[in-house]
Amino acid sequence: MHYTHPLCQPYDPFRLHPDIYRQVFLPGRTTIDLRPVHIAQDLALINAWFNAQFADIKDPSRDPFQYSEDYYTTLLTGANSQPLLGMIDRSPAFQADIYQAMLGPDSLLEDGRFSGNDFIMQLLLSPQAMQNLPLTMYSLLACLDCFFRYEEVHRIIWMINTRERNLRFIAGFAELDEMSCGDELQSYFVISKERFKQVQFSLPLYPEEQPVAMGC
């Protein structure tokens, strides 16, 4: 199934929107859902995940809650980005940002390797998902599966913190290729739509299709 509407579109950040994606993964029939971030409902939880993952690099001079509200409001109301909340078996488990690579702030973009059909993705995982490699894998695959269903998405570049060895392992298992970027803090892994289709066929993870139409 492919979606004909754009992946990145403006949303009301204070309205709860329906799921845009649902998939069941084998062998344990784990269900992954994705929906647009809802500021009032999700922000405190996202901040808690961020604080748990990056406790040693927080800036004490910055109000993290206000920064997060401004950041996610900007992503939600823009036409070139989309922040999503990921649910694992109906429980909040990760947060994904996707945005057009050419319009992002990343230093990797300066060398002109990207087109309007390339998108950068970031994942923020809950502590429970980070400690469970299968759940981390399902989170990554669900995001890739969802985003590649949109016609405008040809390649996805997953940006991760260089120190996250588990995420580097997951990227390799999912057959993403690491890009050279000269950035000591961030690592970038890329996969094309065509390559992801091959990876999907090699991993018997989907027992059934459960398409969810984009809500308004």
CB 89 within 8 A of CB 24: no
Domain assignment present for residue 142? The answer is yes
Domain assignment present for residue 59? The answer is yes
Domain assignment present for residue 1? The answer is no
**Dihedrals phi, psi of 143, to nearest 5 degrees:** -65, -45
Q: What is the pTM of this model?
A: 0.88
Of the candidates 162, 171, 185, the residue with the CA atom closest to the CA atom of residue 140: 171
- DSSP letter assigned to residue 120: E
The sheet with strand 91-100 has its strands ordered as 21-25, 30-36, 81-88, 91-100, 118-125, 155-161, 186-192, 177-179
Q: Going residue by residue through the chain (216 aa), what tens digit of pLDDT does each one get?
A: 567 688 988 999 889 999 999 998 887 889 999 999 999 999 999 999 988 877 555 555 445 556 688 889 999 998 889 999 999 999 999 999 999 888 765 655 555 678 889 999 999 999 999 899 989 999 999 999 999 999 999 999 999 988 888 899 999 989 999 988 777 788 999 999 999 998 887 776 766 555 454 443
Domain assignment present for residue 7? The answer is no
Query: Which domain covers residue 54, as residue numbers?
Result: 21-202
Could you give the number of structural domains in the chain?
A: 1
Domain assignment present for residue 6? The answer is no
Domain assignment present for residue 54? The answer is yes
Query: Tell me, what CATH number does 34's domain have?
Result: 3.40.630.30
